[in-house]
């Protein structure tokens, strides 16, 4: 007595197709004591997963959609974005299809994971928020993130958040903010993944200053329009900042031609692959705007 | 004075009417199961003779009559015909009801469920009548049950279930019941008994009875 295929049935079929489409690029990751986690093929023989689900860097393995268990090599990890990369020789699986364009708030998404050998699991929701940068006391630092109300079942971390076409919009993790389902947008995750596959870790820029955000009274902004800046309260000896000529009392207002009004913006610039580059740093010094060159060092 | 703006749909909405039709049809076959010992649960009119299916745990230990309430306000007395604690299924017989008086539910095929398929649950969470929740098939699992040679399958979904949903139907996008909601695992994973297991159980009962 079931009715013929209507629009509801078509939507239902499309969601099931989405899970099926991403399935072959979705793997189970064995890297911790308790239950396994998920991972996504993002490049030739390379798998991206969550950093926090790898409790060890040896004796790692994956299981494919075809129930094949394969040894995996640890390639690199980035605790700040909770991403890690594994290499599986002779993997023979195509990278996951990725979504064109940015995810939109309200867009239907599926959280898909492979926490056990019994096939993929999925939950439905929407993109609840799109934001960034995100920084937490526990060390999370990412430029952009997506938030979803799709249920992150145990073992879903490292798996994909896909749209209704089955293309990946982000890599899901509950490790950045405990208990909250966040995803690193695909373009950013893939970029971090490629960097990890080349150098094993993410180089984060280092200036060697301590600073605090301050309000700039109108009379002390020079010809700038911004109301806030970072007051330099310490310059480490021998640091990139000292070598570039930064002084205690300078107010940092821009770097690499990007306005800086708080420390998150400064950290975002330093995390953006600028190690070793000489960047223009704009400061307010004695009421006038000056630009100096600072060669960004690498944070240990 | 403020003027009210009436919102106009951007395009002809086809989705909502098909959900309305589906729910209207299924709701007529969903009952509330009340007993004195354990409170309330849900059930579905499963067979032409007015047999109502619910969970074992909704009616366990009940010796007296059980009250069955339909959406349209009718109420009947029923008693337990058969019950299986391991499968968590119970079959109730409704008394003093003519053939066809209780609208039958459409049973869907639960042998070929796909992860991602849309599903709806109807039940009475915390006693609130006829509440609809929606989600997708999250996966399937298998569990060993006494009396069954093969592990018995179960259906996992992300629909929101609460006490009072037990025994109610999990329905696919075509309006067919593909499972009987039974429990919640780990706080947010809903477990249902697939319809084909219900059919197997009832068929075996008929042979015995």
Predicted confidence (pLDDT) per residue in A278-288, tens digit: 999 999 998 89
Query: Do the domain assignments include residue B15?
Result: no
Q: What is the mean pLDDT of residues B80-91?
A: 94
Facing A119 at nearest CB: one of B108, B117, B139? B139
Q: Per-residue pLDDT tens for A7-17?
A: 999 999 999 99
Rounded to a whole number, what is the distance in Å from the CA of A196 to chain B's nearest CA? 32
Mean pLDDT highest for which of A37-51, A127-141, A255-269, B45-59? A37-51
Please report, for the domain that includes residue A250, its CATH number: 2.30.42.10
Query: Do the domain assignments include residue A131?
Result: no
Domains: count for chain B: 2
Do the Cβ atoms of A256 and A269 come closer than 8 Å? yes
Least reliable range by pLDDT among A72-81, A258-267, B110-119: A258-267
Q: What is the mean pLDDT of residues A70-94?
A: 97
Task: Kindly state whether A223 is in contact with chain B, defined as any CB-CB distance less than 8 angstroms.
Answer: no
Asked if A8's CB is within 8 angstroms of B15's CB, the reply is yes
What tokens were used for B22?
């589906």
Query: Do the domain assignments include residue B33?
Result: yes
Query: Do the domain assignments include residue A255?
Result: yes
Rounded to a whole number, what is the distance in Å from the CA of B15 to chain A's nearest CA? 6
Q: Of all residues in chain B, what percent carry a pLDDT higher than 70? A: 91
What's the confidence (pLDDT) of residue A109?
Answer: 98
Bond from prior residue into A253 cis (ω within 30 degrees of 0): no
Q: Which domain holds residue B201?
A: 118-208
Asked if A11's CB is within 8 angstroms of B116's CB, the reply is no
Which residues 6+ apart lie within 8 Å of B5 measured at CB? Answer: none
Domains: count for chain A: 1
Catalytic residue among B29, B88, B124, B195: B88
Q: What is the mean pLDDT of residues A169-191?
A: 95
Query: Do the domain assignments include residue A174?
Result: no
Distance of CA B91 to the CA centre of its chain: 13
Q: Which domain holds residue A231?
A: 205-298
Query: Do the domain assignments include residue B14?
Result: no
What's the confidence (pLDDT) of residue B34?
Answer: 92
Q: Catalytic annotation on B166?
A: yes
Output the CA angle B163-B169-B171, nearest 5 degrees. Answer: 130
Mean pLDDT of chain A: 93
Facing B15 at nearest CB: one of A5, A7, A120? A7
Which residues 6+ apart lie within 8 Å of A109 measured at CB? Answer: A103, A124, A125, A126, A127, A148, A150, A161, A162, A163, A164, A169
β-pair partners for A252: A230, A283
Query: Do the domain assignments include residue B1?
Result: no
Could you write out the three-class secondary structure of B34-81? Answer: EECCCEEEEEEECCCCCEEEECHHHHCCCCCCEEEECCCCCEEEEEEE
* CA dihedral angle for residue B102, residue B108, residue B109, residue B112, rounded to 10 degrees: -150
Does residue B128 share a domain with residue B72?
no
What's the confidence (pLDDT) of residue A2?
Answer: 44
Whole-angstrom CA distances from B196 to A29, A94, B25, B120, B156 are 33, 36, 21, 18, 15
- CB < 8 Å to B138, chain A: 121-123, 151, 153
Asked if B106's CB is within 8 angstroms of A19's CB, the reply is no
Does residue B145 share a domain with residue B81?
no
Query: Do the domain assignments include residue A264?
Result: yes
Residue B167 has pLDDT above 50, yes or no: yes
Whole-angstrom CA distances from B10 to A126, B7, B14, B20, B175 are 20, 9, 12, 19, 27
Catalytic residue among B166, B190, B195, B196: B166
Query: Do the domain assignments include residue B109?
Result: no
Q: Catalytic annotation on B110?
A: no
Residue among B135, B119, B107 at smallest CA distance from B199: B107
Facing B135 at nearest CB: one of A3, A16, A124? A124
Q: Per-residue pLDDT tens for B124-141?
A: 999 899 999 999 999 999
Query: Do the domain assignments include residue B175?
Result: yes
Q: How many residues does this entry show for chain B?
A: 209
What's the confidence (pLDDT) of residue A3?
Answer: 45
Does residue B44 share a domain with residue B125?
no
Query: Do the domain assignments include residue A40?
Result: no
What is the C-alpha separation between A53 and A46, in angstroms, rounded? 17
Task: Kindly state whether A1 is in contact with chain B, defined as any CB-CB distance less than 8 angstroms.
Answer: yes
Residue among B124, B58, B68 at smallest CA distance from B94: B68
* In chain A, residues 95-114 whose CB comes closer than 8 Å to chain B: 110
Give the number of other Cβ atoms within 10 Å of residue A46's Cβ. Answer: 21
Q: What is the mean pLDDT of residues A161-187?
A: 96
Mean pLDDT highest for which of A28-37, A197-206, A265-274? A28-37
What's the confidence (pLDDT) of residue B7?
Answer: 65
Query: Do the domain assignments include residue B7?
Result: no
Q: Catalytic annotation on B56?
A: no
What tokens were used for B158?
């992300």
Query: Do the domain assignments include residue B146?
Result: yes
Residue A83 has pLDDT above 50, yes or no: yes
Mean pLDDT of chain B: 90
What is the C-alpha separation between A3 and A19, in angstroms, rounded? 24
- Read off the pLDDT band of B11 (50, 70, 90): low
Please report, for chain A, how many H helices and E strands are present, in that order.
4, 22
Does residue B78 share a domain with residue B140?
no
- pTM equals 0.85
Residue A44 has what DSSP assignment? Answer: T
Residue B1 has pLDDT above 70, yes or no: no
- Read off the pLDDT band of B3 (50, 70, 90): low
3-class DSSP state of A289:
strand
Facing B116 at nearest CB: one of A8, A122, A153? A122
What tokens were used for A175?
């490790």
């Amino acid at each position: 007595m079931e009715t013929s295929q209507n629009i509801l049935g078509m939507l239902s079929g499309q969601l099931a197709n989405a899970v099926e489409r991403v399935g072959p690029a979705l793997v189970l990751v064995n890297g911790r004591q308790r239950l396994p986690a998920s991972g996504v093929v993002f490049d030739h023989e390379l798998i991206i997963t969550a950093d926090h689900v790898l409790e060890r860097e040896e004796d790692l393995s994956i299981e494919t959609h075809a129930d094949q268990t394969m040894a995996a090599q640890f390639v690199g990890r980035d605790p700040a974005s909770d991403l890690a990369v594994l290499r599986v020789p002779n993997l023979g699986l195509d990278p996951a299809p990725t979504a064109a364009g940015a995810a939109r708030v309200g867009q239907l998404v599926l959280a898909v994971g492979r926490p056990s050998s019994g096939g993929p699991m999925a939950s439905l929701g929407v993109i609840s928020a799109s934001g960034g940068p995100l920084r937490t006391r526990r060390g999370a630092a990412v430029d952009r993130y997506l938030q979803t109300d799709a249920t992150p079942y145990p073992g879903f971390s490292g798996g994909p958040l896909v749209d209704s076409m089955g293309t990946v919009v982000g890599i899901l993790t509950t490790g950045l903010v405990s208990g909250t389902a966040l995803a690193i947008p695909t373009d950013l995750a893939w970029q971090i993944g490629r960097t990890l596959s080349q150098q094993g870790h993410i180089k984060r820029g280092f200036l060697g200053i301590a600073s605090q955000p301050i309000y700039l009274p109108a009379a002390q902004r020079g010809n700038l329009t911004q109301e806030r800046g970072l007051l330099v309260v310490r310059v480490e000896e021998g640091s990139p900042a000292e070598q570039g000529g930064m002084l205690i009392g300078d107010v940092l207002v821009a770097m690499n031609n990007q306005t800086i009004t708080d420390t998150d913006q400064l950290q975002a610039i330093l995390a953006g692959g600028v190690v070793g580059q000489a960047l223009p740093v704009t400061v307010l010094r004695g009421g006038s705007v000056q630009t100096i060159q600072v060669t960004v060092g690498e944070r240990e | 004075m403020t003027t009210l703006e009436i919102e106009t749909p951007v395009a002809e909405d086809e989705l909502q009417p098909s959900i309305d039709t589906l729910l209207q049809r299924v709701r007529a076959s969903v009952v509330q199961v009340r007993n004195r010992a354990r409170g309330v649960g849900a059930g579905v009119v499963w067979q032409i003779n007015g047999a109502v299916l619910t969970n074992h745990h909704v009616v366990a230990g009940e010796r007296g009559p059980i009250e069955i309430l339909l959406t349209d306000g009718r109420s009947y007395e029923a008693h337990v015909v058969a019950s299986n604690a391991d499968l968590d299924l119970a079959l109730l017989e409704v008394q003093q009801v003519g053939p066809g008086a209780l609208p039958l539910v459409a049973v869907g095929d639960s042998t070929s469920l796909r992860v991602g398929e849309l599903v709806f649950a109807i039940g009475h969470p915390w006693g609130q009548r006829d509440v609809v929740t929606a989600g997708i098939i999250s996966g399937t699992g298998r569990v060993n049950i006494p009396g069954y040679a093969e592990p018995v399958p179960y259906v996992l979904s992300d629909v929101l279930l609460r006490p009072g949903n037990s025994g109610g139907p999990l329905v696919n996008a075509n309006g067919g019941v593909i499972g009987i909601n039974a429990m919640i695992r780990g706080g947010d994973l809903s477990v249902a008994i697939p319809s084909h297991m219900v059919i197997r159980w009832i068929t075996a009962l008929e042979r015995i009875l």
